[in-house]
Amino acid sequence: MSTEFPLWEVFIRGQHGLAHRHVGSLHAPDAELALKSARDVYTRRNEGVSIWVVPSSAIAALDPSEAEQNFAPSESKIYRHPTFFDIPEDVGAM
């Protein structure tokens, strides 16, 4: 069996101004064919108006087993949410 095509991650931006979003992955020999395949595999029903492809090997990710430490600092800072503050009703919209 010959060499397997490398894996690419596919990101698509829909029509309504949202950011590119990860939709899945695919195998392709190079970026050009990865883009063409991504169009065929992930946008058969007008799902997007823009496609990014990134070699999967280029993605760095946090270790999921360290998620607790990594995300703990934000848990104790509830004052970052506007609902933390009590605003009297007669102050009006804020």
Partner 1 sequence: MYAQMVESGQAGTSDQDKAFQDKIDRNVRIEPRDWMPEGYRKTLIRQISQHAHSEIVGQLPEGNWITRAPSLQRKAILLAKVQDEAGHGLYLYCAAETLGVSRDELTEQLLSGKAKYSSIFNYPTLTWADVGMIGWLVDGAAIMNQVPLQRCSYGPYSRAMIRVCKEESFHQRQGFDIVRALVEGTEDQKAMAQDALNRWWWPAIMMFGPPDADSTHSEQSMKWGIKLNSNDELRQKFVDQTVPQAEWLGLTLPDPDLKWNEDRQSYDFGTPDWDEFFNVIKGNGICNRERLDARNKAWDDGAWFREGLMAHAEKTTKQNIAAE
Site residues (vs partner 1, CB under 8 A): 1-5, 7, 24-27, 29-30, 33, 40-41, 44-45, 61, 63-65
Cβ atoms within 10 Å of 77's Cβ, excluding its own = 9
- Minimum distance from residue 87 beta carbon to partner 1 (Å): 35
Q: Are 9 and 33 in contact (CB under 8 A)?
A: no
- Among residues 4 and 89, whose Cβ is nearest to partner 1? 4
- Among residues 3 and 74, whose Cβ is nearest to partner 1? 3
- Minimum distance from residue 82 beta carbon to partner 1 (Å): 28
Token pair recorded at residue 47: 């799902």
Angle at 81 between CA 77 and CA 86, to 5 degrees: 105
